[in-house]
Structure 1
Amino acid sequence: MTNAEKITIIADMREKHSGVVKALHDEGALIDLKMLPTADFLCSGRVAIELKRPADFLNSIIDGRMLQQLKELKEGFERPVLIIEGTEEQDLFSSRSIHPNAIRGMLAAIAVSYGIPILHTRNPKDTAGMLIAIAKREKEAGAPKPSLHPQKPATLGQMQEYVIASLPGVEKKLARALLQKFGTVAEVINATEEHLQKVEMIGPKKAAEIKKVIDTEYR
């Protein structure tokens, strides 16, 4: 891939050490690592990718995360896509912890009710190839460049969640919990470390990191 042909893909910081990011780099793609409030990869301003390995996909059905994550993708991006990686190594339907009909029901809901395409890849290298193919197609179609800002008009509540989700270690679910606890963005910002720790999923370390970003003088 020449410099003129290179495409940029935004990857979530939590994917930094994954095989996908390495494979993207090896293929010559430009990787921009960011803390994404939702999605794992952005291939354009309208295409957001949620990447699941089989075990994580099944666990997200059990704990209810799957539909919430996809709902947030749908709200924020025009063309969300779900990639399930590694189904050749681990059959989705071989799990004893969840009935095959529940898995089929979830796949049907994602594809039909939510209208989100489901793509299957064999391994990280295959996933990287798929991301590059999507990004190239988007670039050729003149789609907006990858951006952290949702392309759909945001509601006031979504904008408030976005502001809080930019804090270290705060994902969209936690941002929503913080806003529900404190009421406003200002109250979240002004909360003490002790008060922040009263919110589930925030311990002393995360509370300290949040306050450090808020209280440290800009240089």
Structure 2
Amino acid sequence: MDNREDKKMLQLLRIMNSQYNLGVSIKMEFLEVCDYIVRGKDSLVGTVGIELKEKDDFVASIMDGRLFRQVMEMHVNFDRVVVIVIGNLDEVYSKMPDHSKIGALGALVTKFGTSVIQAVNREWAAYLIISILKHARTTIDMTKIFKPKATSEDRELGAISCAEGWGIKLAREAVKYFRIRDISNIDNPITLSSKIRNVGKIKAQNLINLFSGNEGEDFITYVDVMIFEKYLRMILDKDTIIKKLVNKLRKLI
């Protein structure tokens, strides 16, 4: 941390360091190109340089070009560069129009590859710095980011829920007794309604109509056809069956 920075920030960082039990050392020293440096052997993203800018100073440094020169120098010295803007830029009175302020933010991100974050106040900024420090030292659990691959049953649920009056809840009830291949061979709605809870003859007939290509033109749309076709292609291995059903549905549009 730059020894010219506000001492209140040092206090906030030490309190949060203790609160989150991070066990890191926070030092104050003279820094030439930024306000904070996140570094350490256990960092997974290398060294992170962080520059704090009050809203007025941020606008002024854009207008005189200081910020862009500083960011370029930071990219030479650090693996990641972050600029935290404290306060609302709308409240800054200057000759610089709002669209130019926003344009400068976009330039920092796209042309310089800099992460730009706005904080309400210095307390928020301190939380951001601690958060950056915390995440720089921890791996990302990818299972929390990517959804698991859809199963065959998930795809069948999607196809059945395309019928008029149906949804995922009813579709789940349906697959307890029938698979799609079974439904496509059923002509009598009572066969479905007698087994599936909360499904009467009308909804049962709607499901039969969907898989026989006789869906009503008031309900079916081109988008519905595309979604239905997608699910069928995932489930059925017979292209001729798919084409036959989809062609019937397309004629209704």
Q: TM-score band, normalised by the shorter chain?
A: 0.5 to 0.7
Residues 1:93 and 1:99: Cα distance change in structure 2 (over 3 Å) = farther
Name the structure 1 match of 2:14: 25
Structure-2 residue corresponding to 1:61: 62
Distance of 1:85 and 1:96 partners within structure 2: 17
Q: Tell me the TM-score normalised to structure 1 length.
A: 0.54
- For residues 16 and 30 of structure 1, do their structure 2 counterparts lie closer, same or farther at Cα, with a shift above 3 Å needed? farther
- Which position in structure 2 is the counterpart of 1:41? 36
CA drift of 1:26 comes to: 2.0
Cα 1:136–1:67 change in 2 (3 A) is same
Deviation sequence 1:147-170 (CA, Å, 0-9, x none): xxxxxxxxxxxxxxxxxxxxxxxx
Note the 1:11-160 alignment, pairs <5 A: 11-17=1-7, 19-27=8-16, 28=18, 30-44=25-39, 45-87=46-88, 91-92=89-90, 94-141=92-139
The answer on whether the counterparts of 2:84 and 2:116 sit within 8 Å (CA) in structure 1 is yes
Which residue number corresponds to residue 174 of structure 1? none
- Distance, in Å, in 1 between the alignment partners of 2:91 and 2:110 is 20
Partner of 1:155: none
Label 1:53 to 1:33 Cα distance change in 2 as closer, same or farther (>3 A).
same
Match for residue 151 of structure 2?
none
Shift of 1:127: 1.0
Instruction: Choose between structure 1 and 2 for higher RCO, CA contacts under 8 A separated by at least 6 residues.
Output: 1
State how far apart, in whole Å, the 2-side matches of 1:105 and 1:122 are. Answer: 20
Return structure 1 stretches of 4+ with deviation > 3 angstroms.
91-94
Whether the aligned pair in 1 keeps the contact of 2:55 and 2:92 (CA below 8 Å) is no
Deviations 1:98-118 (A, max 9, x none): 122321221111011111111
Shift of 1:97: 2.2
3-state SS of 1:114 partner: coil
Unpaired runs of 5+ in structure 2? 19-23, 40-45, 140-253
Number of matched pairs = 127
Higher Rg of the two aligned structures = 2
Residues 56 and 92, structure 2, Cα contact 8 Å, conserved in 1: no
1:133-187 residue CA offsets vs partner (Å, 9 max, x unmatched): 111111225xxxxxxxxxxxxxxxxxxxxxxxxxxxxxxxxxxxxxxxxxxxxxx
What's the CA shift for 1:93? 6.0
Tell me, in whole angstroms, the C-alpha distance in 2 between the residues paired with 1:62 and 1:93. 16
Q: Report percent identity of matched pairs.
A: 28
Query: Structure 1: which 5+ runs fail to align?
Result: 1-10, 142-219
Whether the aligned pair in 2 keeps the contact of 1:84 and 1:121 (CA below 8 Å) is: yes
Residue 13 of structure 1: SS of its match in structure 2? Answer: coil
What's the TM-score, normalizing by structure 2?
Answer: 0.47
